[in-house]
Every structure is written in structure tokens, then in C-alpha cells.
Amino acid sequence: MTTRSARPRVAILGLGMIAEVHRRAALLAGADVVGLLGRDHGRTRAAADAWGVPTAYRTIEEVAESDADVVHVCTPNATHAPYSLALLAAGGKHVICEKPLGGDLAEAEAMAAAARAADVVTAVPFVYRYHPVVREIRARRLAGELGATHAVHGSYLQDWLLSPDASSWRVDPAAGGASRAFADIGSHWFDLVEWVSGERMASLIAETRIALPERPAGSVASFSGPAGADAPRVTVTTEDIAMVLARTADGVPVSTTISQVAAGRKNRLWFELDGAAGSAVFDQENPEYGWFGTATGAEVFVRDPGAGSAEQRRLATLPAGHAQGYAQCFEAFVADAYAVMGGEERDGLPTFEDGLRAARLTDAVLRSAAGRAWTDI
């Protein structure tokens, strides 16, 4: 199925930080944002007026019955499944849903099954695939320049929940799901390294830790700072840290550290692929450069629309030295999603199948940490 108009008509569910990122990317991709849905209709109407959006929906049923071509689901995790399933059941609307797909593996499986049955495009914002340097690493791996993979390792570190007074709806399992740090950012790391390396995790053993056993009740916006030392406290049941050792289907060892309480690390997704002929490193906080090592030296590759692989050139939309980052990744992801909705082909667009893969990895991490044992994925 393709979109019904040259300018996709977009509905956005959610009013928070990530909804604004989706809105900006939609507008830059040439879409018309025609409606918003939030938890509170008054706030929805105010946001719609501020953003110049004509319609403030009251219910998901109104969205399903609307003339929107594409719906972006940018709401708390517990709503992803009911909202997406309602839209897919109604038919005719493409769906871009934030991860995780559902609150648990069963919901993710239901969402992926519904997506398979629907004649629409579904996508999940694993947007780190859209860093040009990431595309360069993948292209060199596909060309055989790195040789057979010996090992994959890295980390994804943040510090936005380091303070004992910091909290968010993500901390509450009723809103965010049983996993927090891994489902939120560990899923990004594994999606990226599986896609770039071509290696598929087969089993893993995980250790998780709740570093702060109590946090403020209620919620503040993600990345917005502490809620306040005088706020009432609740017991934390979702992990701050996860360490995972995995083994791929080909026997390649993989290790990573995931943390939302690593002081000074704002959004550091880092990985290294070590191959028989060379190594490659990517650091999301320094995304203009890729490091490629050989037995006799190393090369620092600079993101550049005039260098490297075809996909690196396509996504390197600014001249070298004019920094691109997360925002441009998100914009490229949304533009590719709309292009596929229009009948074009794009390499690497993450779909609900990739979201289901992340849910299976998350489920395996939780089972492994609970049983303290190697666990099949």
C-alpha cells in the first residue's frame, strides 16, 4: 500500500520530547501534520494550537477513523500495543511506533503479527542505523574488508537517572514495562550491532542491577532533571544497569554494558567490531568519525558526502566539518519510512519485525538475570 497523497497526512500520538522530534522530522520530510492526541484534551488542544495543527483528537478511535495516512505513536510504552493494534485493525494507515513495541514479548508478537497481516508499512525508530559512519562500517563489512568477525563489544551509557531525585514514567513498570535500561537503550545497541555486523545473537547471560532502590513517585519529563528531594518515594523495580555476554549463531562472543547512571555519559553508544582483517569503531557522541584498524595501523574516516560508500554519501547531507547528529538520523529515518510508504525502496528501514527482535532480546535478558543462567533467544 502507498500513501494517498503526495504530501503524507500525519497524526502524532503524544506531546512530549520525542513527539516533537517526530513532528520536526515529519515536516522536514514534506508531510502535513494534521492531528495530535495526548492524554489530556486540554493539553492536546493547546499543543495543536502552538504547533499549528488543525485537529486535537480525543480518542484513538478518532485517529483510526481520520484521514491521516501515517500515525506516529510517541506515547508511553504501555500504550504502544493498544494504539498500534487499533490502528492496524482499522486498516489503511501506516504506523511508526516508538520502541519497545509492547510492554512484554506477547504484546510485541501480537503487534508484529498484525503488521504482517496489514497492507501497510510499519517502522520502529532504531535511528542510529542512519548515522553515515555506521553505513560506512556496514558497507566495509559487507565488502569483506573486515574479514570474518572475531568479537563484538561495546556499551551504551547515559547519566540522566544518576540523581536519587531523578525519575520518569519509564521507571514505573506499569507505564514503561518490566525492563527499563535494557529495553530503552540496550535494545538500540543490539539492533545496531546485529544490523551492522550481520551477526545474530543466539544466547546470552545477563546481570542487572537497580542502583537506586527508591526514586520520587510520579513523573517528570525525560532528561529534564531531578523531581525534587521532598517528593514522596516509591520502590524501584526496573534496572538501572545491565551487563550482557552473548554468543551469536556463528559462535562469535559479544559483550556490552548498558547503564542510565554512568556519570558524565550523556548518550554514549559505542561499539567495536573485531574482524580477521580489520576492526571498526563507532561512537555516537563523536559521530563524524569512524575508526578502522588493521594489523599495521589505523584510519580515521571522516563523514563526507564526497567519500566512502554509496549509503554513507546519501546520508551525509552536510559538508565534512559541518556536524551531523541524532536529529539528522531521525530525519533520515522518517524520510525513508515515507519513501517506502510511497512505493520506493530504502536500505535498512527498521520495521515491526526489528521491534519484535528487540522484545525477544529484552525478554531473554530478564529471564537470564532472574535465573542467573545462559538463556536462548
| pLDDT single digits (tens) 42-81 | 999 999 999 999 999 999 999 999 999 999 999 999 999 9
For the residues 6-16, what does the mean pLDDT come to?
A: 95
pLDDT surpasses 70 at 219: no
Per-residue confidence (pLDDT) for residue 161, from 0 to 100: 97
Characterise 353 by phi-psi region: left (phi > 0), alpha (psi -120 to 50), beta (else). Answer: alpha
Residue 230 binned pLDDT confidence (cut-offs 50, 70, 90): confident
pLDDT surpasses 60 at 2: no
pLDDT surpasses 90 at 1: no
Nearest to 306 by CA among 160, 136, 153: 136
DSSP 8-state secondary structure symbol assigned to residue 352: H
Give the CA diameter of the chain: 63
Through-space distance between the first and last CA atoms of the chain, rounded to whole angstroms: 32
Q: What's the pTM? A: 0.95
- Residues 260-282 pLDDT 10s: 999 999 999 999 999 999 999 99
pLDDT surpasses 60 at 30: yes
Return the minimum-mean-pLDDT range out of 58-72, 135-149, 212-226.
Answer: 212-226
Residue 103 C-alpha from the chain's centroid: 15
Per-residue confidence (pLDDT) for residue 231, from 0 to 100: 78
The span from the CA of 326 to the CA of 172, in Å, is 26
